[in-house]
A = this chain, B = another copy of it.
Amino acid sequence: MSASAPRTYAESGVDVGARATALRALLESSRYRAPPSHGRPVALPGHFAGLVRIGGETLALTTDTVGTKVLLADRMDRWEEVGEDLVGINVNDLAAVGARAAGLVDTIVCARPDDDRFRAIGRGIRRGLEAAECALLGGETAVVPDLVHGIDLGGTALGFFPKGRRPITGDRIRPGDLVVGIPSNGLHANGFTLVRRLLSAAAVDLERPRPGGREPVGVELLRAQRMYAKLADAVADRAGVHGLAHLSGGGVRNMVRLKADVAFSLDRWPDPPPLFRWVQGLGPISDHEMFQTFNMGIGFVVVVARDRATEILARLRRSGAPDAVEIGRVERGRGVRLPARSLSYDGYA
């Protein structure tokens, strides 16, 4: 719509490659092995959560921030949704190792505290806690006007494995498994640096619906993410559940985090919802970029043994995801493919 619209996430100011390189430098230089008297970490590099064994329990820890979705919240002056996302981004990552959330701590880094905004964020956090059945165990509020604009929202969630359950890491995934997808309910909290640039370049009025939309597009974009935690919990104890993935930042590339030496062929991916197609058209953005930046309509994935697929799909449908669908299968090879769109991705970065 405008010559200045970015075409990729990198053009919008987020260079995923540079991030990966810097992250590698950080991880290499911070490497340290603690003595077993301080717990026993379970090696699971690049996964959705870190695991550590303490006494007879295995605990999972995951941390994430809402990112620049807060800048849209600021512009719309609506803070409940991003408060709820603060919970969702973290418990959905816990769910991806099969852990049940036991507690959350929030981190609010703001230029200045504001009662109304904090109250709205708190209401959103409560909704998220209710949906995840998770306690708020504490938090930190840093007032640092020289460091941030507005309000940065992050959190960390602690999860555990109910008696008899083992972490679900993806190691049992094998060619022949089926891939079940649970639809998302919007953009969740990913890709907003790109989205905001696109909105700005196209001078979109956030107070009006997009073509075909029913609510102001600013509100539609802010919608708090679906909570997959209870859905994952409902199937995590079942035989045949081989892998779970939360399609957050990185889109379909997140599948690679489960297992590197198989190929995920997503040949039945449903048509992306109109909101995604509208965002894509603002660029226009390529399919390749869209599927590695946004969830494109599927927010959570369950990889299941072929002979258990019917049973597990039925269980998901009974447990709050009547819309769960088969979206593909596991084959020999590597990476993620969407053959109908001629897309393929090698790794997660």
Contacts and interface: CB of A to CB of B under 8 A. Distances in A.
Interface of A: 13-15, 18-19, 21-23, 25-35, 37-39, 41, 49-52, 54-57, 59, 61-65, 67-68, 70-71, 83, 100-103, 105-109, 112-123, 125-126, 129-130, 133-150, 152, 154, 156, 158, 160, 162-163, 193, 196
Given A29-B126, A107-B154, A139 B54 contact: no
Given A114-B22, A115-B21, A41 B137 contact: yes
Nearest to A139: B63
Nearest to A19: B113
A34 B147 contact: no
Contact of A102 (B39, B56, B116, B129): B39
B52 A135 contact: yes
B34 A133 contact: yes
A156 B29 contact: no
A85 B134 CA distance: 29
B34 A134 contact: yes
Given A54-B160, A114-B22, A135-B41, A140 B34 contact: no
Given A25-B119, A51-B137, A135-B33, A62 B109 contact: no
Contacts of A141: 19, 22-23, 26
Contacts of A147: 67-68, 70-71, 148-150, 152
A240 to B, nearest CB: 23
Count copies of this chain in the complex. 2
A18 B112 contact: yes
A331 B161 CA distance: 45
A323 B51 CA distance: 37
A152 B149 contact: no
A61 B138 contact: yes
Given A22-B115, A145-B193, 6 more contacts: A30-B123, A37-B162, A54-B59, A63-B138, A67-B142, A144-B193
A122 B193 contact: no
Nearest to A53: B102
A126 B19 contact: no
A54 B51 CA distance: 15
23 contacts: A18-B112, A19-B113, A22-B141, A23-B113, A25-B115, A26-B119, A30-B122, A30-B136, A32-B130, A37-B100, A38-B134, A55-B57, A61-B105, A61-B137, A61-B158, A64-B140, A65-B144, A67-B144, A68-B146, A146-B193, A148-B152, A152-B152, A154-B154
